[in-house]
Amino acid sequence: MSRCLPSPTDAEVAILRVLWDRGPSTVREVHEELERAQPVRYTTTLKQMQVMHEKGLVERDDSRWAHVYRPALPEDKALRRLTGDLLDRVFGGSAEKLVMHALHAGNVTPQELARIRELLDNLQKGGER
């Protein structure tokens, strides 16, 4: 993520999503959330979170017996960093290609389209980025 942090793997993104949704959490709490989607061993979650700490993707509070983890970056900053990386690596820096493929790849709701139009209008006026 920024500050020269490496891009997270898919498994690490799943952990970050839990932390962004729940806030600071123990390995047990993260593990329980991950298990709702698919079976995963507790030791696997523990090891992934330890590696993420070593990589600088999460920060850890060691002051209690059960370590509490939190993302190193807030969700919006991390997503901008990951989107920028995707834009450069996959779409050759073309925002148009990225947006066109994203819109065609998913089910875009009318509410999302309205928000996208609003963002485009603001960008055109020199506002929100």
Consecutive H or E run containing 124: helix 110-124
Whether 4 maps to a domain, the answer reads no
Task: Please tell me the distance from the alpha carbon of residue 129 to that of residue 50, in angstroms, as a whole number.
Answer: 34
Helix (H, G, I), strand (E, B) or coil at 58: strand
The verdict on 46 and 97 lying in the same domain is: no
Instruction: State the CB neighbour count (10 A cutoff) for residue 4.
Output: 6
- Mean pLDDT rounded to a whole number for the chain: 91
70-118 tens-digit pLDDT: 999 999 999 998 899 889 999 999 989 998 998 888 788 999 999 999 9
Note whether residue 32 is domain-resident: yes
pTM here is 0.79
- Same domain for 61 and 33? yes
**Is the confidence at residue 18, as pLDDT, over 80?**
yes
Q: Domain holding 34: CATH number?
A: 1.10.10.10
Are both 63 and 80 inside the same structural domain?
no
Q: Residue 100: which domain range? A: 75-124
Q: Which of 71, 87, 109 is the last residue of a domain?
A: 71
Judge whether 113 lies within some domain.
yes
Tokens coding 45: 């979650």
Q: Is residue 19 part of a domain?
A: yes
Q: Which pLDDT band holds residue 64 (cuts at 50, 70, 90)?
A: confident
Residues 23 and 62 occupy one common structural domain:
yes
Helix (H) or strand (E) holding 68: strand 68-71
Instruction: Indicate the helix (H) or strand (E) that contains 26.
Output: strand 25-26
Question: Looking at the domain assignment, is residue 60 inside a domain?
Answer: yes
